[in-house]
Structure 1
């Protein structure tokens, strides 16, 4: 089995393929590693893909287009160490019957965990209390400092569901939260294992004390939460976004946060890295993390992908397969 790894040489590849993961991949077949410090271009991928059975990709890898596939007589599996494959594989890959797997489900576990950490930190006023303590004060939240709230039996609205939202529902169950889910691609039966969750319209989901964004970034969702929709979020509510920044209009969000009407916890931004002088950095009602929700714990992502490469070698069912229907609704 011939395996081509498109990730370029350097720290990023080393973080996904530390020595143990590298050795494991090389035990599965004959591996060609990208020898350069730059990503392949589409033309370079086309030149190298003849005779390759398994293509292992990462962030920045060139798109697998119909033109690339013209030179890929043996390609049977695309294994992506990241999450979404929407901008990586083309429809031609599915037309050719090539299997596509990714670490999307594992990344979703980590992102849901980070989402929970953010919303609990803001509800429990952890950043504000830390600032108070660091200043030598004793803030209790009883009218003397930050307001401390709870997730127990809270009403939560999810804008979009997806794999991350489903994992978050598992966490929310332990708090007895009541969850309103807006996702036009989800049926009520899809929520059957979470009795506390119900499928609603967008207005109802936004009318919650905690609103968490989990929609994919697509043409129809960019700018979905504009000024009018943000205004539907109740006073004092918390908006969490660990999905994609473009789903929320930046100017409208900044206006709401400046007013102090709502607070936010954000892991994604319209410009990344977030500029040092960006207004978000100066607002005390915002908790910021640098887009680390699902992507910083990397060896488990690689391990999941290698599990499926091994299954592919052995001719068994692939656990992390991305079907065409899922590909069509993933973040682009």
Structure 2
């Protein structure tokens, strides 16, 4: 992983917490797998802990790692750095995706509740006009009681959002081709087709992975189907949304958007999204940041200790799931 990520996840003064189950082969992180020093480290490594900034774990890297039995990822997706050779050789792979899901779910919960209270746009109205008239500036649709929340994707994050929404007087519906009626019943949600969910929900929140099949999942047709007053929340990936079509609908002023991710990652200077009063933009902050990174570290340390002790990991990544997960 990169040195700055390592400093936040695994401060040097806390390396002692890994003992006695885990002995670090090297205190400083590897930032690449090239050169004799890196190859010497790999030759002694049984468990490789990775995170953001990890270069590809190729067949050549594995050839230099004859003792390697597990890769434990302190992050979400493992697709960006693990090659097919990892799976072919039967190496255990685990990920802290469940730990990273919690702050995203918390962000989603917060923005759902604020969106239905119209807190974001009313705050901007107050700052712009320096006045507030409840009779003129509010309507009968404001509030969270009885609102329909549509989640697109019963992913790890989507399921954490479902858990967090349970205490509230909200109706939760989910569109996911892999969610069976029995699973939906256990989760306490109503399964719907994507069209119906988008057309009837007060909030549409995206929790699907970025796959070829989900490119512009929210296309012009679906965006036009959103009912007036609805809010689209995207904490997944910008590629899930046809951003031009969304912007065109937002310009009309009859829908709202909370966008933690866009395409490109940061909108270009001059993009209309910056100036629209019905848009709330954040720079990809929903996932683990600051103190939340320590949750990732604790998760992977626990996983590494379990594997070192001969126990099964709790968060194994299954190769058959890679085609439908982030």
Which TM-score applies when normalising by structure 1? 0.88
TM-fit CA distance, 1:102: 1.3
Instruction: Identify the match of residue 32 of structure 1 among 26, 30, 34.
Output: 26
Report the 3-state secondary structure (helix = DSSP H, G, I; strand = E; otherwise coil) of the residue aligned with 2:56: coil
Cα distance in 2 for partners of 1:205, 1:125 equals 21
Runs of 4+ displaced beyond 6 Å: 42-47
Instruction: Identify the match of residue 308 of structure 1 among 303, 307, 315.
Output: 303
Larger helix proportion of the pair:
2
How large is the RMSD of aligned CA atoms in angstroms? 2.4
Cα distance in 1 for partners of 2:272, 2:81 equals 33
Aligned to 1:9: 3
Aligned to 2:230: 237
Which TM-score applies when normalising by structure 2? 0.89
Report the 3-state secondary structure (helix = DSSP H, G, I; strand = E; otherwise coil) of the residue aligned with 1:142: helix
**Count of aligned positions:** 321
Aligned to 1:206: 198
> Could you list the per-position Cα deviations for residues 253-309 of structure 1 after superposition, in whole angstroms to 9, with x for gaps in the alignment?
111111112101111111234445432111110112211112212111111111101
The verdict on how the C-alpha distance between 1:270 and 1:32 changes in structure 2, with shifts beyond 3 A counting, is same
Report the 3-state secondary structure (helix = DSSP H, G, I; strand = E; otherwise coil) of the residue aligned with 1:264: strand
TM-fit CA distance, 1:15: 1.5
Aligned to 2:321: 326
Is contact 2:124-2:277 (8 Å) kept?
no
> Could you list the per-position Cα deviations for residues 169-218 of structure 1 after superposition, in whole angstroms to 9, with x for gaps in the alignment?
112222232222111122222223233x1222111121211111000001
Instruction: Identify the match of residue 155 of structure 2 among 155, 162, 169.
Output: 162
The verdict on how the C-alpha distance between 1:62 and 1:180 changes in structure 2, with shifts beyond 3 A counting, is same
Is contact 1:209-1:237 (8 Å) kept?
yes
Task: Map 1:124-273; keep pairs closer than 5 Å.
Answer: 124-134=117-127, 137-139=130-132, 141-144=134-137, 149-195=142-188, 197-207=189-199, 208-273=201-266
Report the 3-state secondary structure (helix = DSSP H, G, I; strand = E; otherwise coil) of the residue aligned with 2:137: coil
TM-fit CA distance, 1:146: 8.1
Is contact 1:160-1:215 (8 Å) kept?
yes
Task: Map 1:283-298; keep pairs closer than 5 Å.
Answer: 283-296=276-289, 297-298=292-293
Aligned to 2:105: 112
Cα distance in 1 for partners of 2:305, 2:29 equals 24
Is contact 2:33-2:55 (8 Å) kept?
yes
The verdict on how the C-alpha distance between 1:266 and 1:141 changes in structure 2, with shifts beyond 3 A counting, is farther
Mean Cα deviation higher: 142-151 or 218-227: 142-151
The verdict on how the C-alpha distance between 1:32 and 1:211 changes in structure 2, with shifts beyond 3 A counting, is same
Cα distance in 2 for partners of 1:255, 1:194 equals 35
